[in-house]
Amino acid sequence: MFDLVIKNARNLDEEIIEIGVSDGKICQIAPKITQKGKREIELLPHQYVSAGWIDDHVHCFEEMTLYYDYPDQIGINKGVTTVIDAGTTGAENISVFYEHAKNAKTNVYALLNISKWGIVEQDELADLTKVQAGLVKKKIQELPDFIVGIKARMSKTVVGKNGIIPLQLAKRIQKENQPLPLMVHIGSAPPRLAEILALLEEGDIMTHCFNGKPNGILDTDTQQIKPLAFQAKKRGIIFDTGHGTDSFDFHVAETAYREGIKADSISTDIYIRNRKNGPVYDLATTMEKMHTIGYSWKEIIEKVTIVPAKNFHLNGKGKIKEGYDADFTIFERVFEPKTLVDSNGNKKITEEQIRPVQVIIGGQQYECKL
């Protein structure tokens, strides 16, 4: 007998599958499962199932004052089974975050900020004495199942007069702690985007890829995507949306789409204020924005499941596959118009919404609260 059997589950290929779960893992996937479950969930005909959604850029350490939130508020409540906190904390405070995160129902991982106190203030990389490779290494060794990468925020307000130096330090730290991916936030210059991309390598993640700032991927004179973005894509640099309060522009994302550049992963950069007041609200709303640009639901789901799981080496996550973790998001497609707003106040109307209704994490079921 399985712990749980999910019945009448529709995937985005419009196939009906049944899933048997035991000990928090997926044990069987078949059109029909005859073995009983201690619990059985029967999905409604219009409900879909996917692997649990992963939001790879959030801020959810509640003890911070600048960017903070609570993992379950942005996780299970919003249809997200796994969140990756993107550098809210550094080597000095990540252990406290870890103690909180362990109590969440949502799976929580973290990128370690190279600045030792994380984002306690807006300019965490203006003082380079806060970047201590030894401390970083020690924490990574101490919390190997929690820290899945490192983070450096490379924009003017963060780095002060230090220009590109913090990124050079981040790359050195990354090399000493392989194979951890590096996520780099881009924004206003200095440093210039060209200098940043020159240092990034295959597997590194550029977040806020569709920001509407002059130092972004769109050339504001020609209204075309800068050649450096195509070169970066070709070299295997990962483009992550990281929507945020300030960092997602419909026009940039649409121009990129038209010219053949897509986001690899879709994430929110959510925290309490842009969750409550917008323009982010939740991962589903960011997914709807990508859908209005032209991305299919199937690729959108891949960009919040398989892709982030691969980029951050989350083994056993991101797919509905035997042996994988029993993390699922159950959602509905709702054919009702909704106004979507980007970070610069531009609006688009979607005719179709995606609405998570429940999540299953390690076989445990939770209702979403949108």
Q: Indicate the SS3 state at residue 309.
A: helix
Binding mask 307-336 for Zn ion (x = CB under 5 A): ------------------------------
Query: Which amino acid is residue 337, in one-letter code?
Result: P
User: Nearest approach, Cβ of 193 to Zn ion (angstroms)?
Assistant: 17
Q: 95 vs 122, which CB is nearer to Zn ion?
A: 122
Question: Rounded to whole angstroms, how far apart are CA atoms 280 and 342?
Answer: 8
Site string for Zn ion, 229-248 (x = CB under 5 A): --------------------
Return the number of the residue (86 or 293) whose C-beta is nearest Zn ion: 86
CB of 124 vs Zn ion, minimal distance in Å: 12
Tell how far CA 256 is from the center of its chain: 20
Closest residue (Cβ) to Zn ion?
Answer: 269
DSSP characters over 208-270: STT--STTSSEETTTTEE-HHHHHHHHTTPEEE---TTTS--HHHHHHHHHHT---SB----B
Smaller CB separation from Zn ion, 56 or 269: 269
User: What is the Cα–Cα distance from 19 to 6, expressed in whole angstroms?
Assistant: 5
Q: Concatenate the DSSP letters of all residues of 45-69 into one string.
A: TTEEEEEPEEEEEE---TT-SSS--
Query: Within positions 152 to 181, which residues make up the interface with Zn ion, using CB under 5 A?
Result: none
Residue 69 binds to Zn ion (criterion: CB under 5 A): no
Q: Which is nearer to Zn ion, 158 or 253 (CB)?
A: 158
Q: Residue 192 CB: number of other CB atoms within 10 A?
A: 15
Report strand pairing: 238-240 vs 205-207: parallel
Taking residues 251 to 290 in sequence order and writing x for each that binds Zn ion by CB under 5 A, - otherwise, the string is ------------------x---------------------
Nearest to 76 by CA among 216, 226, 320, 282: 282
DSSP one-letter string for 315-340: TT-SS--TTSB--EEEEEEE---EEE
Select 246 or 325, whichever has its Cβ closest to Zn ion.
Answer: 246
Our CB check for Zn ion shows the closer of 18 and 269 to be: 269
* Cβ at position 119, least distance to Zn ion in Å: 8
Shortest distance in whole angstroms from residue 249 CB to Zn ion: 16
Residues near Zn ion (CB under 5 A), total: 2
Q: How far is the CB of 62 from Zn ion (least distance, A)?
A: 16
Q: Smallest Cα–Cα separation from 264: which of 288, 299, 232? A: 299
Taking the least distance from each CB to Zn ion, the nearer of 130 and 319 is 130
Q: How far is CA 325 from CA 81, 93, 107, 135, 309, in A?
A: 11, 29, 11, 32, 12
Which residues ranging from 74 to 93 are in contact with Zn ion (CB under 5 A)? 86
We find the least distance from the C-beta atom of residue 259 to Zn ion, in angstroms, to be 26
Q: In the complex with Zn ion, which residue's Cβ is closer, 204 or 269?
A: 269
Cβ 151 to Zn ion shortest distance, Å: 8
Q: Closest distance between Zn ion and the C-beta of residue 247, in Å?
A: 8
Residues that bind Zn ion (CB under 5 A): 86, 269
